Structure 1
Amino acid sequence: MGSKLMEKSKHLVWTPYAAHRIDLMLEEIGEIKIVKATLEEARLVSRFIYNHSKILFLFREHSKKKEIIRSAITRFSTDYLVVDSIWESEGALKILFTCEE
Protein backbone atom coordinates (compact mmCIF):
# COMPACT_ATOMS: atom_id res chain seq x y z
CA MET A 1 0.00 0.00 0.00
CA GLY A 2 2.75 2.45 0.94
CA SER A 3 4.72 1.80 -2.23
CA LYS A 4 1.62 2.43 -4.37
CA LEU A 5 1.10 5.79 -2.67
CA MET A 6 4.74 6.69 -3.27
CA GLU A 7 4.37 5.89 -6.98
CA LYS A 8 1.35 8.20 -7.28
CA SER A 9 2.73 11.04 -5.16
CA LYS A 10 6.45 11.59 -5.49
CA HIS A 11 6.56 13.91 -2.47
CA LEU A 12 5.46 11.15 -0.06
CA VAL A 13 7.97 9.06 1.84
CA TRP A 14 6.81 5.76 3.27
CA THR A 15 8.35 4.72 6.57
CA PRO A 16 7.05 1.41 7.88
CA TYR A 17 6.52 1.21 11.62
CA ALA A 18 7.30 4.90 12.15
CA ALA A 19 4.64 5.28 14.84
CA HIS A 20 5.94 2.21 16.64
CA ARG A 21 9.51 3.48 16.53
CA ILE A 22 8.51 6.91 17.81
CA ASP A 23 6.55 5.24 20.60
CA LEU A 24 9.65 3.23 21.57
CA MET A 25 11.75 6.42 21.63
CA LEU A 26 9.18 8.17 23.83
CA GLU A 27 9.16 5.14 26.12
CA GLU A 28 12.94 5.43 26.57
CA ILE A 29 12.77 9.19 27.10
CA GLY A 30 10.05 8.55 29.69
CA GLU A 31 12.56 6.58 31.77
CA ILE A 32 14.67 9.69 32.40
CA LYS A 33 14.14 10.57 36.06
CA ILE A 34 12.81 14.14 35.65
CA VAL A 35 10.68 13.23 32.62
CA LYS A 36 9.23 10.24 34.47
CA ALA A 37 8.32 12.43 37.46
CA THR A 38 6.73 15.08 35.21
CA LEU A 39 4.67 12.49 33.33
CA GLU A 40 3.46 10.94 36.59
CA GLU A 41 2.43 14.36 37.96
CA ALA A 42 0.53 15.09 34.74
CA ARG A 43 -1.26 11.73 35.02
CA LEU A 44 -2.17 12.50 38.64
CA VAL A 45 -3.61 15.92 37.76
CA SER A 46 -5.59 14.45 34.88
CA ARG A 47 -6.94 11.56 36.99
CA PHE A 48 -7.80 13.89 39.86
CA ILE A 49 -9.83 16.19 37.63
CA TYR A 50 -11.66 13.40 35.81
CA ASN A 51 -12.39 11.44 39.01
CA HIS A 52 -14.22 14.36 40.67
CA SER A 53 -17.30 15.51 38.76
CA LYS A 54 -17.58 18.89 40.52
CA ILE A 55 -13.94 19.70 39.80
CA LEU A 56 -14.35 18.53 36.20
CA PHE A 57 -17.40 20.77 35.85
CA LEU A 58 -15.48 23.76 37.27
CA PHE A 59 -12.48 23.05 35.04
CA ARG A 60 -14.65 22.95 31.94
CA GLU A 61 -16.31 26.18 33.04
CA HIS A 62 -12.97 27.97 33.55
CA SER A 63 -11.34 26.54 30.42
CA LYS A 64 -14.24 27.36 28.10
CA LYS A 65 -15.15 23.67 27.58
CA LYS A 66 -11.57 22.63 26.87
CA GLU A 67 -10.53 19.11 27.86
CA ILE A 68 -7.32 17.70 29.27
CA ILE A 69 -6.27 14.64 27.36
CA ARG A 70 -6.46 11.49 29.47
CA SER A 71 -3.48 9.21 29.44
CA ALA A 72 -3.91 5.76 27.95
CA ILE A 73 -2.20 2.54 28.87
CA THR A 74 -1.31 1.53 25.34
CA ARG A 75 0.77 4.40 23.96
CA PHE A 76 3.53 6.41 25.57
CA SER A 77 2.82 9.35 23.28
CA THR A 78 -0.46 10.00 25.12
CA ASP A 79 1.53 10.77 28.28
CA TYR A 80 3.27 13.59 26.41
CA LEU A 81 -0.06 14.78 25.00
CA VAL A 82 -1.42 14.93 28.56
CA VAL A 83 1.51 17.16 29.59
CA ASP A 84 0.92 19.38 26.55
CA SER A 85 -2.81 19.73 27.22
CA ILE A 86 -2.15 20.58 30.88
CA TRP A 87 0.42 23.17 29.76
CA GLU A 88 -2.14 24.71 27.38
CA SER A 89 -4.71 24.79 30.20
CA GLU A 90 -2.34 26.34 32.72
CA GLY A 91 -4.41 29.50 33.20
CA ALA A 92 -7.68 27.63 33.68
CA LEU A 93 -6.01 25.23 36.12
CA LYS A 94 -4.60 28.09 38.20
CA ILE A 95 -8.06 29.64 38.41
CA LEU A 96 -9.62 26.26 39.22
CA PHE A 97 -7.27 25.45 42.10
CA THR A 98 -7.45 28.94 43.59
CA CYS A 99 -11.19 29.58 43.28
CA GLU A 100 -13.32 29.34 46.40
CA GLU A 101 -15.75 26.85 44.86
Structure 2
Amino acid sequence: MTMSYDLYGAKRLSLLSAKDDVEKALGKVFEERDSSYQGGVYYMWGVSDSENFILKLNVDPFDGDPAEQKYPEHKILLYINATECSSDIEKAMRKNSNFELLRREFF
Protein backbone atom coordinates (compact mmCIF):
# COMPACT_ATOMS: atom_id res chain seq x y z
CA MET A 1 0.00 0.00 0.00
CA THR A 2 1.55 3.33 -1.08
CA MET A 3 0.88 6.30 1.15
CA SER A 4 1.20 9.84 -0.09
CA TYR A 5 2.10 12.91 1.94
CA ASP A 6 1.10 16.07 0.08
CA LEU A 7 1.57 19.74 0.81
CA TYR A 8 -0.74 22.39 -0.63
CA GLY A 9 -0.40 26.14 -0.25
CA ALA A 10 -2.56 29.22 -0.68
CA LYS A 11 -1.25 32.73 -1.13
CA ARG A 12 -4.22 35.03 -0.59
CA LEU A 13 -6.53 33.51 2.00
CA SER A 14 -7.02 33.98 5.71
CA LEU A 15 -6.92 30.80 7.80
CA LEU A 16 -10.69 30.84 8.31
CA SER A 17 -11.50 31.42 4.64
CA ALA A 18 -8.98 28.71 3.74
CA LYS A 19 -10.83 26.32 6.06
CA ASP A 20 -14.11 27.08 4.27
CA ASP A 21 -12.41 26.70 0.89
CA VAL A 22 -10.93 23.27 1.74
CA GLU A 23 -14.10 21.99 3.40
CA LYS A 24 -16.12 22.82 0.28
CA ALA A 25 -13.53 21.31 -2.05
CA LEU A 26 -13.09 18.06 -0.13
CA GLY A 27 -16.44 17.65 1.59
CA LYS A 28 -14.81 17.28 5.01
CA VAL A 29 -15.40 19.20 8.24
CA PHE A 30 -12.25 20.39 9.98
CA GLU A 31 -11.99 20.73 13.75
CA GLU A 32 -10.38 23.80 15.31
CA ARG A 33 -7.40 23.06 17.53
CA ASP A 34 -4.72 25.06 19.28
CA SER A 35 -1.09 24.04 19.69
CA SER A 36 2.10 25.99 20.18
CA TYR A 37 3.83 23.32 18.08
CA GLN A 38 1.53 24.17 15.12
CA GLY A 39 1.86 27.92 15.69
CA GLY A 40 -1.42 28.52 17.52
CA VAL A 41 -4.87 27.93 16.06
CA TYR A 42 -4.99 25.37 13.28
CA TYR A 43 -7.59 23.02 11.79
CA MET A 44 -7.51 19.25 11.48
CA TRP A 45 -9.53 16.46 9.92
CA GLY A 46 -8.87 12.82 10.81
CA VAL A 47 -6.72 11.30 13.53
CA SER A 48 -2.98 11.55 13.99
CA ASP A 49 -2.23 7.83 13.62
CA SER A 50 -3.89 7.47 10.18
CA GLU A 51 -4.96 9.67 7.27
CA ASN A 52 -5.26 13.26 8.44
CA PHE A 53 -5.27 16.79 7.07
CA ILE A 54 -3.73 19.77 8.86
CA LEU A 55 -4.49 23.35 7.83
CA LYS A 56 -2.29 26.04 9.37
CA LEU A 57 -0.45 29.29 8.87
CA ASN A 58 2.98 29.12 7.26
CA VAL A 59 4.73 30.44 10.36
CA ASP A 60 7.34 28.70 12.47
CA PRO A 61 6.20 29.24 16.08
CA PHE A 62 9.75 29.47 17.39
CA ASP A 63 11.35 32.07 15.13
CA GLY A 64 8.48 33.58 13.10
CA ASP A 65 10.03 32.54 9.77
CA PRO A 66 7.98 30.50 7.30
CA ALA A 67 7.47 26.92 8.48
CA GLU A 68 7.99 25.84 4.87
CA GLN A 69 11.03 27.89 3.88
CA LYS A 70 10.80 26.87 0.20
CA TYR A 71 7.32 28.46 -0.03
CA PRO A 72 7.41 31.76 1.88
CA GLU A 73 4.82 33.35 -0.44
CA HIS A 74 2.16 30.83 0.63
CA LYS A 75 0.43 32.16 3.76
CA ILE A 76 -1.62 29.02 4.37
CA LEU A 77 -0.47 25.39 4.30
CA LEU A 78 -2.51 22.22 4.00
CA TYR A 79 -0.77 18.97 4.86
CA ILE A 80 -2.43 15.79 3.58
CA ASN A 81 -0.87 12.93 5.53
CA ALA A 82 -0.95 9.17 4.91
CA THR A 83 -3.53 9.20 2.13
CA GLU A 84 -4.15 6.65 -0.59
CA CYS A 85 -6.34 9.14 -2.50
CA SER A 86 -3.81 11.80 -3.49
CA SER A 87 -4.86 11.98 -7.15
CA ASP A 88 -8.56 12.38 -6.26
CA ILE A 89 -7.71 15.03 -3.68
CA GLU A 90 -5.54 16.87 -6.19
CA LYS A 91 -8.36 16.92 -8.76
CA ALA A 92 -10.83 18.28 -6.19
CA MET A 93 -8.39 20.88 -4.93
CA ARG A 94 -7.43 22.04 -8.43
CA LYS A 95 -11.06 22.32 -9.49
CA ASN A 96 -12.66 23.75 -6.34
CA SER A 97 -10.10 25.63 -4.27
CA ASN A 98 -7.51 28.39 -4.20
CA PHE A 99 -4.74 25.97 -3.21
CA GLU A 100 -1.93 24.60 -5.33
CA LEU A 101 0.06 21.40 -4.87
CA LEU A 102 3.55 22.25 -3.64
CA ARG A 103 5.02 18.83 -2.81
CA ARG A 104 4.16 15.14 -2.95
CA GLU A 105 6.11 12.36 -1.27
CA PHE A 106 5.41 8.62 -1.30
CA PHE A 107 6.23 6.12 1.44
User: Structure 2-normalised TM-score?
Assistant: 0.28
User: Structure 1-normalised TM-score?
Assistant: 0.29
Which of the pair has the greater relative contact order for Cα pairs under 8 Å at 6+ separation? 2
Higher Rg of the two aligned structures: 1
Structure holding more helix per residue: 1
